[in-house]
Amino acid sequence: MDLDTLVGKVGASSVGDWHLIDGDTGFQAVVRRHASTADVPRLDVESHVSWWTFRPDVSVALAYGLPYYGGAEIPVNLPAFPKSSLGARFADVMYQGVPAYRLAVLDLDDSRCLLPMPWHATVGDADEQLGWEVVGFTVPASDLAIARLLNRLRGHTDETFDSYLERSEIIVLPDR
């Protein structure tokens, strides 16, 4: 199976196609951090909080919840949402137990909605590398479809998802 087919299959699936695996799945990441009281590094183990197996093809899974780069600052500033209401986590599309596709997901308003992490769309003078201006935020359609599925799997409605998407002013681009 090629990557585009895998991502498309996951994005086009429905909640009933997935089986939730409760508890630790063993897929973890070790994150190096500095302690807040001293400049002493420490290692933390982070993991996804949710894991689903695709019923039609058990070689496909979806994992969600690994903290975005160990809690690093989120690189977007969506005007509709204050930074204090934003969190970020990774979602991994797994194939035969291996991460095949990863997207960063914004966790909005204490997990009321998950949106894909958008990219900055910029404009500027083609003759100069200076003066580029952020004019919007974009996401590929496949990332949006997976984020919508994650919201459904977590029990959220499409109406809530669509409301947050509209407020975000994210522009959805066709996949390449």
In which domain, by residue range, is 57 found? 3-173
Digit-by-digit pLDDT tens for the chain (176 residues) are 999 999 999 999 999 999 999 766 666 666 666 556 666 676 666 777 899 999 999 999 999 988 887 555 676 777 788 777 778 889 999 999 999 999 999 998 888 999 998 886 655 555 455 555 666 788 899 999 999 999 999 999 999 999 999 998 888 988 87
* pTM over 0.75, yes/no: yes
Number of domains in the chain: 1
Burial class (CB within 10 angstroms; exposed 0-12, middle 13-18, buried 19+) of 166? exposed
Pairing state between β 133-140 and 170-173: parallel
